[in-house]
Structure 1
Amino acid sequence: MSRTGEKILGIISAIFTLLGIILTSIIVVNGSAVIQDEAFQTGFQQEILSDPTLTSQDAEAVTQVLDVLPNFFNVFGWGFIIILVISLILNIVGIVSINKNKNPKLAGIMFILAGLFAGIISITSILLYIAAIMCFVRKPPVQFAEQEYYNPDQPV
């Protein structure tokens, strides 16, 4: 039985996940560099302190958050990248296990897990969920073995 549909959906979602890993890593690296820039921090603090709608206590709270923000941004960003890498690995395991119709149930489980790690509701996860459903639902056609029937007219 040909599992071309599942393979194609798995490959497309693997490409989307790889693009997500690349784009997220670029955002994390560049974003943390911008947040840690002294000119950005001083400009942001000047803007907050000169805002007439904020009290001095509010402005102080915002500047304290700005001090913690680079660490939070790095930890959250790299954690998200690690989760996407795990999703990509599970997706590749699913693609390999569906190859030549080796183990479609394992591939379906791997596609579901990869979809959960890729984001519960994203284009990538939806493609993986569809591939998993196809792995579980599509069955090879039943082939009947020819049976010899007893014919009383034929000698044994």
Structure 2
Amino acid sequence: MSRTGEIVLGVISAIFTTIAIILFSLLVIGGNAAIQDDMLKSEFEQEIINDPTLSGQDVEIITQGVDTFINLFSVLGWGFVIALVISLILNIVGIVSVTKNKNPKLAGIMFILAGLLAGVISLTSILLYVAAIMCFVRKPPVQLSEQEDYYSTEKMY
């Protein structure tokens, strides 16, 4: 039985995941570089200090919050990139498992796990969910032996 549909959907989603890994890595690297720029930090702090509606305690709370946000952005950004890399690996395992109809159930499970890690409702995950459903639903045609064919009800009068 040909599993071309599942393979094509898996390859397309692998390409999208690879593009997402590259883009999110550049975003996190660029974001960290921009946020850690001392000149940008000093300008931001100067603008907060010059605001007449904020007290000294408010300025201190805001600057601590910004530092926390910077650390959180870095950790969550790299965590999402790692999740995408794991999704890509699971996707590749699924593609290999479905080729030549080796183990379509394992491929379906790998596609579902890869889809969950790629983002629950992203285009990539939707393609992987469709490929997983195809792996589970499509069954090879039943081959009747000659003896079963001979005793078939169609030939009886």
Shared fold, TM over 0.5: yes
Aligned-residue RMSD, C-alpha: 1.6
Distance in 2 separating the partners of 1:37 and 1:76: 20
Q: What is the CA-CA distance between 1:48 and the residue it aligns to? A: 2.0
Residue 110 of structure 1 corresponds to which residue in structure 2?
110
Residue 75 of structure 2 corresponds to residue 81 of structure 1: no
Residue 11 of structure 1 corresponds to which residue in structure 2?
11
Return 103-112 or 74-83, whichever deviates more.
Answer: 74-83
Distance in 1 separating the partners of 2:30 and 2:99: 39
Residue 123 of structure 2 corresponds to which residue in structure 1?
123
Residue 65 of structure 2 corresponds to residue 65 of structure 1: yes
Q: What is the CA-CA distance between 1:84 and the residue it aligns to? A: 0.6
Distance in 1 separating the partners of 2:111 and 2:23: 22
With the length of structure 1 as denominator, give the TM-score of the two structures: 0.89
Return 35-44 or 50-59, whichever deviates more.
Answer: 50-59
Residue 18 of structure 2 corresponds to residue 22 of structure 1: no
Paired residue type of 1:18: T
SS in structure 2 at match of 1:2: coil
1:92-129, Cα deviation, whole Å (9 max, x unpaired): 00000000111000000000010111111111111101
1:21-79, Cα deviation, whole Å (9 max, x unpaired): 10011011110011000111011112222334544433321111222333222211111
In structure 1, stretches of 5+ residues that fail to align are: 151-156
Residue 155 of structure 2 corresponds to which residue in structure 1?
none
Percent identical residues: 70
Residue 154 of structure 1 corresponds to which residue in structure 2?
none
SS in structure 2 at match of 1:76: helix
Distance in 2 separating the partners of 1:146 and 1:96: 34
Paired residue type of 2:51: D
Paired residue type of 2:143: Q
SS in structure 2 at match of 1:97: helix
SS in structure 2 at match of 1:147: helix
Residue 90 of structure 1 corresponds to which residue in structure 2?
90
Residue 139 of structure 2 corresponds to which residue in structure 1?
139
Paired positions, count: 150
Distance in 2 separating the partners of 1:52 and 1:144: 86
